[in-house]
């Protein structure tokens, strides 16, 4: 899930995982950079950073902390415990790791990759049916997705390059990875979605679909406008309700225009998710979004 | 509160995703320019929404004049805007400070540099520090308004000056710079003898070539390190001083509020001068909905085809607005309880998305005295 700040990446990630889990699959949602949005959405305790926490039957969450992931990575690479400790306890290493641009992103995407390809010890089936990554907002989200490809090019050889290449193979393969661009029906979010899609494609990364989140329900049609306008000047509550209806009608029109523009300029299937008017998104609201998403994905798949 | 900001050199807007940092930064810069200050609004978010908000086709690493005369008014200062370009900033830095032509070429042609300066995540925050330093030193602007990326990355930016100095003054850099320390040289064998050295371990991870490239890259900057450290320290001093002012932007959504309060506390406890919180996109609370029959009668008289259904939908529309209005009333109360008096600005949710200058001017006017 990639998109502008606040468009609903975390919400849509949770809804997607919920729809997998409700269909009997095992879904993992990955939060990065120490975010803790899942625990709010599912009113659960903190989501773990080393092992996945089960939030609902079949739905798990994990919140990757780059520093921890670095240590874990080193342990896997160096294998010899005392060597790992020497390195992680070294102040020199810490200043180096903290200052090295790209390192937190590399271990983060590396950990995601290892979870995505993990197989069960018994039958060899994948551990997770879907792994949904809740990326940081566009600018830093794209950097995360591009990291493996960049390191692959930058390192001439050696273990890091080989690992980056293996990660990049999965991240860039359209059968393995699908980047979903999330937008709101608003100018800035749609502009950013269009720009992000072009940038990702330019780097050979597979953008699969766009989600237009927070679409107003189609309550009114153009023929409702004249009577509503006639009543809008009425005093008190009657006029106020007519004005609210006209505002809603205008937003319906805006939503349609943004959908057309998003679909036209990206060529992506656009899945609408309804605007939920609640104080906060709770489980019933997430279930509603999960259903809308499953439906949208099914018809986008059918269209493709 | 805005009047108080006119005396600051630097105003920094931060907050979580999508709360209105870019919009408020642009509006605030417009206000400061309106009050007479030559102002530049700078975004260090790699996403390029500042240009969209100002209705400009593009921004670059050099300040561009915002064509704002229509909204600036009499006696106003100029309004300029800039989008950080990490690569352009880094290239300029190298050209300006490299010891000689050979050193310059050595850096510019290093493969690590070519990747790092452009694409690699994290370089953005370092270059933001450098760009800010340049702007302050150049002295072209009385006020600089800074639009930051969403919260976690904004904190990365605030930490960046310290990370730079720690790295430059630390042992890691000296190790990597020691001649012959890296694969190939005699020193390498000696280091390797104790096979537990940090460098030896690093090489096992990265391979000899990458480590050699890194070492070479860092060596290229020989003689420039003190400059990096000095500028980073100067920026940190400015950020902590009374010449700066931080504004936390919040939206009335429940999660956003908690994060805004946490961010405000974090800034204060880290010693950054917090001026206040902007609660953005506050929804107005409409009155109670009318009786359905009364509305249906009025709509029938106005010629509606199915007045009953239309009345129900209209009531649903106003009920939605009431949910958001009530939610935002609570949000306001919650923030008032958490934040000292006089440090809260409320900006209403505007009927039309405030993009392009008239919209930004509307937000600017809503910022209060
Ligand atoms: N007062 C307001 N009334 C109505 N819409 C607003 C208001 N302030 C901001 N917006 C809109 O809300 C959306 C988010 O605003 P903006 O892009 O400024 O947020 P941001 O914090 O910079 O986001 P990001 O985290 O992605 O950088 C935009 O579509 C913007 O036009
Ligand atoms: N379909 C929707 N309808 C109404 N509100 C929504 C919807 N999707 C998300 N939100 C709200 O928008 C805000 C931002 O959502 P979030 O998922 O945290 O965004 P992001 O992860 O992109 O920053 C939250 O307050 C969330 O409850
Ligand atoms: Mg999120
Ligand atoms: Mg922004």
Q: What is the pTM of this model?
A: 0.92
Instruction: Work out the pLDDT band at B40, boundaries 50, 70, 90.
Output: very high
| Cα angle value A294/A297/A301 (rounded, 5°) | 140
- Tokens representing A32? 């990065």
A217 touches ligand 2 (CB under 6 Å): no
What is the spatial distance between Cα A139 and Cα A3, in angstroms, rounded to a whole number? Answer: 9
Q: Do the strands A2-3 and A179-183 form a parallel or antiparallel pair, or are they unpaired?
A: parallel
pLDDT, tens only, A217-243:
999 999 999 999 999 999 999 999 999
pLDDT, tens only, B43-86:
998 888 999 999 999 899 999 999 999 999 888 999 999 999 98
Structural domain for A203, as ranges = 2-303
Does B156 or B22 have the greater pLDDT score?
Answer: B22
Between the CA of B161 and the centroid of ligand 3 the distance, in Å, is 27
Q: Do the strands B79-83 and B39-43 form a parallel or antiparallel pair, or are they unpaired?
A: parallel
- ipTM of model: 0.92
pLDDT at B180: 54
Looking at residues A243-271, what average pLDDT do you find?
98
Q: Is the pLDDT of residue B101 over 60?
A: yes
Name, in order, each residue with C-beta under 8 angstroms of A175's C-beta and a sequence gap of 6 or more.
none
Residue A173 belongs to domain with CATH number: 3.40.50.300
Burial class (CB in 10 A: 0-12, 13-18, 19+), B342: exposed
Query: Which residues of B fall within a CB distance of 8 Å from A277?
Result: 320, 323-324
pLDDT, tens only, A152-208:
888 877 888 899 999 999 999 999 999 999 999 999 999 999 999 999 999 999 999
Q: Which residues keep their CB under 5 angstroms from ion ligand 4?
A: B 21-22, 49
Average pLDDT, chain A: 91
pLDDT, tens only, A41-52:
998 888 888 889
Instruction: Work out the pLDDT band at B225, boundaries 50, 70, 90.
Output: confident
Looking at residues A260-273, what average pLDDT do you find?
97
Instruction: Give chain A's domain count.
Output: 1
Ranges A3-7, B142-146, B184-188: which has the least confidence: B184-188
Does B5 or A103 have the greater pLDDT score?
Answer: B5
Q: Which residue of A has its CA nearest to B53?
A: A188
pLDDT, tens only, A50-70:
889 999 999 999 999 888 888
Distances (CA, A) of B127 to A103, A143, A236, B237: 17, 15, 56, 17
Instruction: Work out the pLDDT band at B300, boundaries 50, 70, 90.
Output: very high
Q: Is the pLDDT of residue B119 over 80?
A: no
Does B6 or B194 have the greater pLDDT score?
Answer: B6
Tokens 């949000």, residue? B331
CA distance B262 to chain A (A): 13
Burial class (CB in 10 A: 0-12, 13-18, 19+), B62: exposed
pLDDT at B324: 95
User: Looking at beta carbons, which pairs linking B165-171 to residues 24 or more positions away fall under 8 Å?
Assistant: B165/B229, B165/B232, B165/B233, B165/B236, B166/A95, B166/A98, B166/A99, B167/A95, B167/A96, B167/A98, B167/A99, B168/B225, B168/B226, B168/B228, B168/B229, B169/B229, B170/A91, B170/A92, B170/A95, B170/A96, B171/A91, B171/A92, B171/A95
B253 touches ligand 2 (CB under 6 Å): yes
pLDDT at A146: 92
Does B65 or A87 have the greater pLDDT score?
Answer: B65
What is the spatial distance between Cα A134 and Cα B343, in angstroms, rounded to a whole number? Answer: 33
Ligand 2 pocket test, pick from A2, A5, A10, A11 with the greatest ligand atom count within 8 Å of Cβ, gives A11
Ranges A141-145, A298-302, B261-265, B283-287: which has the least confidence: A298-302
Does B174 or A290 have the greater pLDDT score?
Answer: A290
Ranges A227-231, B103-107, B172-176, B212-216: which has the least confidence: B172-176
What is the spatial distance between Cα B156 and Cα A95, in angstroms, rounded to a whole number? Answer: 15
- Chain B interface test: which of A8, A101, A203 (most B C-beta within 10 Å): A101
Q: Is the pLDDT of residue B306 over 70?
A: yes
Treating both helix axes as pointing N-terminal to C-terminal, what angle do B101-109 and B208-220 enclose, rounded to 10 degrees? 150
Treating both helix axes as pointing N-terminal to C-terminal, what angle do B123-138 and B151-169 enclose, rounded to 10 degrees? 80
- Tokens representing B192? 């390797």
Ranges A85-89, B30-34, B318-322, B345-349: which has the least confidence: A85-89
Ranges A260-274, B117-131, B138-152, B290-304: which has the least confidence: B117-131
Query: Which residues of B fall within a CB distance of 8 Å from A247?
Result: 317, 321, 351
Q: Is the pLDDT of residue B317 over 60?
A: yes
pLDDT at B178: 67
pLDDT at A170: 97
Q: Which of A148-152, B110-114, B220-224, B292-296 has the highest mean pLDDT?
A: B292-296
Distances (CA, A) of A104 to A49, A111, A117, B250: 14, 11, 20, 28
pLDDT at B188: 45
- Tokens representing B213? 């490239």
pLDDT at B2: 86
The total of other beta-carbon atoms located within 10 Å of residue B322's CB is 18
The total of other beta-carbon atoms located within 10 Å of residue B139's CB is 7
Looking at residues A250-279, what average pLDDT do you find?
97
Instruction: Work out the pLDDT band at B216, boundaries 50, 70, 90.
Output: confident
């Amino acid at each position: 899930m990639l998109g502008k700040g606040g468009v609903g990446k975390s919400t849509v990630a949770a809804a997607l995982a919920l729809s997998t889990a409700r269909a009997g699959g095992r879904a993992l949602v990955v939060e990065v950079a120490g975010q803790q949005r899942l625990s709010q959405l599912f009113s659960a305790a903190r989501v773990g950073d080393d092992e996945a926490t089960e939030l609902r039957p079949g739905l798990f969450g994990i919140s990757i902390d780059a520093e921890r992931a670095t240590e874990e990575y080193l342990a896997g690479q160096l294998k010899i415990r005392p060597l790992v400790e020497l390195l992680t306890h070294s102040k020199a290493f810490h200043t180096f790791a903290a200052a090295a641009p790209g390192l937190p992103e590399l271990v983060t995407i590396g950990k995601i990759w290892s979870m995505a390809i993990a197989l069960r010890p018994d039958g060899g089936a994948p551990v997770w049916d879907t792994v949904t990554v809740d990326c940081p907002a566009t600018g830093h989200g794209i950097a995360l997705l591009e990291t493996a490809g960049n390191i692959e090019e930058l390192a001439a050889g050696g273990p890091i390059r080989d690992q980056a290449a293996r990660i990049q193979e999965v991240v860039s393969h359209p059968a393995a990875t699908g980047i979903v661009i999330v937008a709101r029906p608003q100018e800035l979010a749609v502009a950013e979605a269009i720009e992000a899609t072009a940038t990702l494609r330019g780097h050979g990364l597979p953008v699969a679909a766009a989600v237009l989140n927070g679409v107003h329900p189609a309550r009114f049609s153009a023929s409702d406008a004249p009577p509503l306008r006639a009543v809008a000047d009425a005093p008190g509550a009657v006029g106020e309700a007519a004005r609210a209806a006209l505002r809603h009608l205008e937003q319906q029109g805006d939503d349609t225009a943004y959908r057309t523009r998003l679909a036209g300029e990206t060529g992506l299937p656009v899945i609408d998710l309804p605007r939920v008017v609640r104080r906060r998104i709770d489980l019933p609201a997430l279930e509603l979004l999960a259903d809308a998403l499953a439906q949208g994905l099914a018809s986008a798949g059918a269209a493709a | 509160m805005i009047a108080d900001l006119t005396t600051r050199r630097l105003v920094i807007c931060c907050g979580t995703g999508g709360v209105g940092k870019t919009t408020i930064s642009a509006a605030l810069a417009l206000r400061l320019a309106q009050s007479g200050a030559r102002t530049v609004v700078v975004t260090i978010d790699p996403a390029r929404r500042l240009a969209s908000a100002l209705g400009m086709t593009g921004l670059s690493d050099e300040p561009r004049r915002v064509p704002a005369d229509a909204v600036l008014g009499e006696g106003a200062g100029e309004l300029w805007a800039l989008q950080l370009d990490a690569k352009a900033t880094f290239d300029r830095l190298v050209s300006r400070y490299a010891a000689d032509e050979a050193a310059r070429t050595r850096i510019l042609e290093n493969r690590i540099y070519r990747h790092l300066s452009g694409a690699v995540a994290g370089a953005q925050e370092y270059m933001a520090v450098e760009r800010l330093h340049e702007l302050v030193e150049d002295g072209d602007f009385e006020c600089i308004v800074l639009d930051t990326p969403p919260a976690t990355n904004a904190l990365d930016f605030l930490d960046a000056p310290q990370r730079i100095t720690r790295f430059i003054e630390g042992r890691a850099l000296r190790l990597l710079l020691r001649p012959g320390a890296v694969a190939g040289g005699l020193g390498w064998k000696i280091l390797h003898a104790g096979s537990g050295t940090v460098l030896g371990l690093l090489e096992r991870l990265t391979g000899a070539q990458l480590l050699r490239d890194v070492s070479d890259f860092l060596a290229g900057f020989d003689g420039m390190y003190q400059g990096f450290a000095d500028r980073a320290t100067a920026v940190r001093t400015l950020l902590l001083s009374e010449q700066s002012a931080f504004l936390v932007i919040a939206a009335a959504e429940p999660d956003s509020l908690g994060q805004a309060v946490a961010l405000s506390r974090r800034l204060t406890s880290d010693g950054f001068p917090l001026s206040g919180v902007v609660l953005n996109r506050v929804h107005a609370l409409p009155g109670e909905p009318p009786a359905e029959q009364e509305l249906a009668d009025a709509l029938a008289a106005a010629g509606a085809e199915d007045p009953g259904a239309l009345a129900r939908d209209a009531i649903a529309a106003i009920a939605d607005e009431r949910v958001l209005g009530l939610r935002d009333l609570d949000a306001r109360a919650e923030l008032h309880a958490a934040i000292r008096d006089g440090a809260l600005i409320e900006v209403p949710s505007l009927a039309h998305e405030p993009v392009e200058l008239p919209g930004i001017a509307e937000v600017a006017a809503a910022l209060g005295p």
